[in-house]
Amino acid sequence: MLIYKILRRPEWDAFRAAGQTRGAPVDLADGFIHFSTAAQVAETAAKWFADQSDLVLVAVRSGALGADLKWEPSRGGALFPHLYRPLRLEDVVWDKSLPLGISGHIFPEGVI
């Protein structure tokens, strides 16, 4: 199963340069990296990135993260994937631009 992380372009660039990331400021504050499932990612984009256009959508295989990935209740009591270790570049299956359109973000085909 693929899970998704939305990063601002400078965060993605820093991640690529370093080979790993502990996430965005919200991740650092919470002590884990926030991910969303395909069913959750559009709402995540609308809630936290509503007016931001230069974003990158990163896909990761949940099963490859092992015991460091925990499914915990969050928004509305739904279970969200949270990673309790740095995300490594080799964990990334693919990355794609997530542009902002007239009625919200435009997701790559097949994601939502």
Domains of the chain: which residue ranges?
2-98
pLDDT at 4: 98
The CATH homologous superfamily to which domain 2-98 belongs is Protein of unknown function DUF952 (3.20.170.20)
User: Strand ranges (DSSP E) for 1-112?
Assistant: 2-8, 20-21, 33-34, 55-61, 69-73, 79-83, 87-88, 92-98, 100-101, 104-105
pLDDT at 92: 98
pLDDT at 77: 85
pLDDT in tens, the chain (112 residues): 999 999 999 999 999 999 999 999 999 999 999 999 999 999 999 999 999 999 999 999 999 999 999 999 987 889 999 999 999 999 999 999 999 999 899 999 989 8
**pTM of the predicted structure, to 2 decimals:** 0.94
pLDDT at 76: 84
Q: Encode 59-87: b = buried (16+ Cβ within 10 Å), e = exposed.
A: bbeeeebeeebeeeeeeeeeebbbbeeeb
